[in-house]
């Protein structure tokens, strides 16, 4: 007797279709790994007309297929064969062919990526120390007479800055502090020149400038030594580095950041055309004010002259009475002046004695006498507190040795591993039993089982299933499928 149970070699194992298997594997990859950063070399580059890019990412021992879709290309660097890159990608599986692949979302040159990570790390460190805070920014002087430019004398930037300043306001003096603006030693040279400019105090403001370039070209302006030299500068520092999209650590620390060196020169220099126009407007306003004041004074003079000629003695008796009253007050006050002067001189002498250097020095000595003892007591108290804290920490460390903690972690790891294995076995057993149950239900209710119970399937000449008698007029040839074999019949009559 034939058995309906599956063969022994697949007892308890699910049966997948190829598409279902690829779908399950893809879900596992995407759920477990998600996004990862991978470094490697680009090879087998393909750029079809769809705008997507396909390539392999490889190292000395392995390679993986990668897909960069058109919508993500703006977040990536230029893609060329042989380029060493760092990609952020989703791990996935192409179900149609079962190919393991990476879906690239971001890509950058591997060398530039390392610089970018170093940039972000230093930026976080300096921000935590407060070097970027607005309270440390020094204001620019209201009127700039001398500008110290820290840049390379060989580049176009120096020429552009001088040209801009000469065009806008030739009266401003420009001093060059020459430095290299690219290379290994450029950062240290820039920091030394910043310190030198502060020592010499020859200018009102410093302009740190360089033309555009890659992150690697501008790296000297991202060095910590330059950032700290800018921060300790007593002179205001304006940064005009690169293009508008270039941002360096020096830009963050500087007191003012300009998008370009030329824009920085314009920021520090007034426009002479504008100043001349304002001067002309001010001169015209002053001229009009003088003319109006002169007319008012002339009119007042004419009024007084006319009154004097018509009534020369008007008000004279009243003026004589005022003069007589003031004379009497002066005569009465004269005897009291010497006494008040002596009293004031005595008060000033007493104040001078109280504020004499000797008296103040004695007062300071009295106040400073107990300070050494207080300082020594404070130091002893601090030492005792540190010793007490060190003792407590040693006791805590003895109570929680690392080897004991490691043993507990190993035991917990074993327990969690056992629980996970039991849960996986239970889940697999449940899924297997459900598949077997569905298989038995399909066996009992499927078409072969129905035919075995005496039913038949009737189809017409085109293979369509016949469900109604009126669909088969007399003379129609039909095919009747039984549990074992088929019968071809012809309709003789139709009964309702």
pLDDT tens digits along 339-366: 777 777 777 777 766 666 666 667 767 7
| Whether 162 and 236 share a structural domain | yes
- Report whether pLDDT(158) > 90: yes
Q: DSSP labels for 236-270?
A: -EEEEESSTT---HHHHHSSEEESSHHHHHHHHS-
**Dist. CA 247–CA 215, nearest whole Å:** 9
| Whether 166 and 263 share a structural domain | yes
In a domain? residue 480: yes
- Report whether pLDDT(4) > 70: no
Q: How confident is the model at residue 230 (pLDDT cuts 50, 70, 90)?
A: very high
| Type and span of the H or E element at 169 | none
| Whether 456 and 484 share a structural domain | yes
Which residue, among 174, 177, 173, 172, has the nearest Cα to 151 in the 3D structure? 177
CB contact set of 155 (below 8 Å; sequence gap of 6+): 181, 210, 211
pLDDT tens, position by position, 170-198: 888 999 999 999 988 999 999 999 999 99
CA distances from 242 to 126, 194, 210, 245, 481 (A): 21, 19, 6, 8, 84
| Whether 76 and 105 share a structural domain | yes
Q: How many structural domains compose the chain?
A: 5
List the beta strands (DSSP E) in 51-110. 53-58, 63-68, 84-94, 99-109
| Whether 87 and 191 share a structural domain | no
Residue 271: per-residue pLDDT: 77
| Whether 48 and 105 share a structural domain | yes
* pTM of structure: 0.44
pLDDT tens, position by position, 101-125: 888 988 887 766 677 778 889 999 9
Residues 77 and 41: beta-carbon distance below 8 Å: no
Q: How confident is the model at residue 135 (pLDDT cuts 50, 70, 90)?
A: very high
Residue 113: per-residue pLDDT: 66
Domain containing 24 — which CATH number? Answer: 2.40.50.140
Residue 236: per-residue pLDDT: 96
Which residue, among 134, 138, 141, 159, has the nearest Cα to 149 in the 3D structure? 159
Q: How confident is the model at residue 8 (pLDDT cuts 50, 70, 90)?
A: low
Q: How confident is the model at residue 1 (pLDDT cuts 50, 70, 90)?
A: very low
**Dist. CA 221–CA 225, nearest whole Å:** 9
| Whether 167 and 180 share a structural domain | yes
Crossing angle, helix 156-168 and helix 261-268, to 10 degrees?
30
**Dist. CA 218–CA 207, nearest whole Å:** 16
Domain containing 247 — which CATH number? Answer: 3.40.50.280
Residues 108 and 216: beta-carbon distance below 8 Å: no
Q: What is the mean pLDDT of residues 35-43?
A: 87
Residues in the chain: 496
In a domain? residue 221: yes
pLDDT tens, position by position, 462-488: 878 888 878 788 888 888 888 788 888
Instruction: For the chain, give the percent of residues with pLDDT over 90.
Output: 24
| Whether 137 and 265 share a structural domain | yes
Phi and psi at residue 210, in whole multiples of 5°?
A: -165, 150
| Whether 286 and 257 share a structural domain | no
Q: How confident is the model at residue 2 (pLDDT cuts 50, 70, 90)?
A: very low
Residues 113 and 38: beta-carbon distance below 8 Å: no
**Dist. CA 199–CA 298, nearest whole Å:** 58
State the chain's mean pLDDT as an integer: 83
Look up the domain containing 291 and give its range.
Answer: 274-309
| Whether 237 and 165 share a structural domain | yes
């Amino acid at each position: 007797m034939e058995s309906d149970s599956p063969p022994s070699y697949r007892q308890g194992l699910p049966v997948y279709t190829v598409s279902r298997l690829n779908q399950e594997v893809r879900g596992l990859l995407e759920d477990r790994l998600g996004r990862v950063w991978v470094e490697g070399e680009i090879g087998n580059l393909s750029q079809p007309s769809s705008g997507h890019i396909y390539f392999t990412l490889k190292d000395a021992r392995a390679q993986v297929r990668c897909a960069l879709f058109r919508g993500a290309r703006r977040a990536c660097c230029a893609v060329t064969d042989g380029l060493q890159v760092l990609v952020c990608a989703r791990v996935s599986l192409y179900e149609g062919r079962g190919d393991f692949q990476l879906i690239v979302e971001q890509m950058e040159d591997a060398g530039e990526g390392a610089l970018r990570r170093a940039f972000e790390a230093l930026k976080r460190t300096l921000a935590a120390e407060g070097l970027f805070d607005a309270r440390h920014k020094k204001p620019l002087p209201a009127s700039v007479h001398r500008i110290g430019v820290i840049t390379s004398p060989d580049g176009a930037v120096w020429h552009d800055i001088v040209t801009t300043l000469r065009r806008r306001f030739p009266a401003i003096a420009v001093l060059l502090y020459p430095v290299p603006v690219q290379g290994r030693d450029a950062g240290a040279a820039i920091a030394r020149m910043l310190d030198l400019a502060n020592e010499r105090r020859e200018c009102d403001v410093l302009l740190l400038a360089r033309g555009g370039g890659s992150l690697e070209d501008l790296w000297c302006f991202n060095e910590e030594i330059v950032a700290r030299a800018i921060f300790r500068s007593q002179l205001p520092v304006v940064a005009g580095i690169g293009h508008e999209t270039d941002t360096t650590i020096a830009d963050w620390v500087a007191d003012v950041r300009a998008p370009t060196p030329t824009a920085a020169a314009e920021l520090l220099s007034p426009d002479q055309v504008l100043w001349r126009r304002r001067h002309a407007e001010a001169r015209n306003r002053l001229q009009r004010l003088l003319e109006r004041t002169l007319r008012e004074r002339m009119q007042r003079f004419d009024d007084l002259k006319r009154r004097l000629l018509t009534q020369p003695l008007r008000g004279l008796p009243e003026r004589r009475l005022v003069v007589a009253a003031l004379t009497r007050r002066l005569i009465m006050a004269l005897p009291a002046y010497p006494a008040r002067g002596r009293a004031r001189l005595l008060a000033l002498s007493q104040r001078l004695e109280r504020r004499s250097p000797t008296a103040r020095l004695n007062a300071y000595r009295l106040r400073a006498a107990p300070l050494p003892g207080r300082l020594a007591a404070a130091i002893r108290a601090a030492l005792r507190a540190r010793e007490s804290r060190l003792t407590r920490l040693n006791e805590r460390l003895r109570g929680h040795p690392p080897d004991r903690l490691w043993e507990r972690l190993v035991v917990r790891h074993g327990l969690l591993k056992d629980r996970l294995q039991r849960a996986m076995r239970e889940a697999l057993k449940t899924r297997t039993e459900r598949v077997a149950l569905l298989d038995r239900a399909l066996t009992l209710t499927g078409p072969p089982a129905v035919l075995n119970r005496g039913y038949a399937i009737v189809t017409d000449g085109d293979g369509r299933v016949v469900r109604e008698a009126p669909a088969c007029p007399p003379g129609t040839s039909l095919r009747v499928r039984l549990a074992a074999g088929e019968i071809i019949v012809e309709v003789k009559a139709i009964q309702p």
